[in-house]
């Protein structure tokens, strides 16, 4: 059983569930989360700049993660408590096109004319390529393992079937705009995606992982990823 409590402004201030126990959340005058305290008193604290951007996260042990931003409020770099830096790059449309990890590995994204993701490369090697039908729905996805996932869209019903390698996705649901919502990935692990009214992906995840990662979208861009834990995440 999960119990939730809210303040008069509608902000979540208390939660209790069998998995995470008790958590208490505190906010500043701008309703920005500034502290998340667990049942044994350990507090994770969040700090923001004058534009409301999250600039630091301090865990219960005092370890600090910091972030810097571009002029368009996109995360430019994140430094973990060990001083390791991850950087990001964006195109003129505000879409993320590259991310370099602390070990120097660079991931790059490409987009089609409609602004939708069309491919993924790691250190210059093409990992995944995505093709879509004339209605911009996912039609073919080729991951680096060479298994090809073909998405078959009926003319009227909002369901689809995807076949890839030895795995067949069954009962896939999609939104009226053609964004697939859930099914099984090429390795047959249960996954889920959902999209907003503009067909932007707002949630994707795998139920074998720790919580559902969610994409919060603002001004047409993915701005943050919120995991199953309380508090802002990258």
Supply the range of the domain harboring residue 30. 1-62
Q: How far is residue 26's CA from residue 44's CA, in Å, rounded to a whole number?
A: 10
31 lies in some domain: yes
Instruction: Give the residue from 62, 77, 110 where a domain finishes.
Output: 62
**51 shares a domain with 82:** no
1 lies in some domain: yes
pLDDT of residue 138: 54
pLDDT mean over 9-15: 94
8 lies in some domain: yes
**Is the per-residue pLDDT at 112 higher than 60?**
yes
**136 shares a domain with 75:** yes
pLDDT tens-digit series, residues 125-154: 888 888 776 665 555 555 554 444 444 444
153 lies in some domain: no
Tokens linked to 170: 């069954």
Provide the domain count of the chain: 2
pTM of the complete model beyond 0.75:
no
How buried is 151 (Cβ within 10 angstroms: 0-12 exposed, 13-18 middle, 19+ buried)?
buried
107 lies in some domain: yes
**96 shares a domain with 40:** no
pLDDT of residue 129: 83
pLDDT tens-digit series, residues 48-92: 999 999 999 999 999 999 999 999 999 999 999 999 999 999 999
pLDDT mean over 93-102: 94
79 lies in some domain: yes
Instruction: Give the residue from 93, 115, 145 where a domain finishes.
Output: 145
Strands (E), 29-175: 33-38, 43-48, 54-58, 64-69, 75-79, 85-90, 96-100, 106-111, 117-122, 125-132, 138-142, 149-152, 159-164, 167-174
**71 shares a domain with 55:** no
227 lies in some domain: no
**Is the per-residue pLDDT at 221 higher than 50?**
no
**57 shares a domain with 86:** no
pLDDT tens-digit series, residues 154-200: 444 333 344 444 333 333 344 444 444 333 333 333 334 444 555 54
């Amino acid at each position: 059983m999960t119990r939730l409590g809210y303040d008069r402004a509608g902000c979540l201030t208390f939660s209790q569930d069998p998995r995470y126990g008790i958590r208490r959340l505190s906010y500043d005058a701008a309703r920005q989360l500034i502290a998340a305290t667990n049942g044994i008193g350990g507090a994770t604290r969040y700090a923001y700049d004058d534009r409301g951007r999250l600039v630091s996260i301090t865990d219960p042990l005092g370890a600090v993660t910091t972030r810097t931003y571009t002029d368009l409020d996109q995360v430019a770099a994140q430094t973990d408590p060990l001083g390791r830096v991850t950087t990001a790059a964006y195109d003129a449309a505000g879409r993320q096109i590259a991310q370099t990890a602390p070990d120097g590995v660079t991931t790059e994204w490409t987009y089609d004319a409609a602004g939708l993701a069309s491919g993924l490369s790691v250190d210059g090697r093409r990992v995944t390529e995505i093709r879509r039908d004339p209605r911009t729905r996912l039609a073919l996805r080729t991951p680096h393992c060479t298994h090809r996932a073909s998405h078959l869209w009926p003319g009227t019903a909002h369901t689809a079937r995807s076949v890839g390698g030895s795995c067949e996705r069954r009962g896939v649901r999609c939104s009226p705009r053609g964004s697939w919502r859930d099914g099984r990935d090429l390795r047959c692990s249960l996954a889920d995606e959902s999209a907003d009214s503009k067909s932007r992906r707002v949630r994707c995840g795998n139920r074998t992982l720790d919580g559902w990662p969610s994409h919060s979208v603002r001004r047409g861009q993915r701005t943050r990823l919120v995991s199953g834990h309380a508090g802002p995440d990258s």
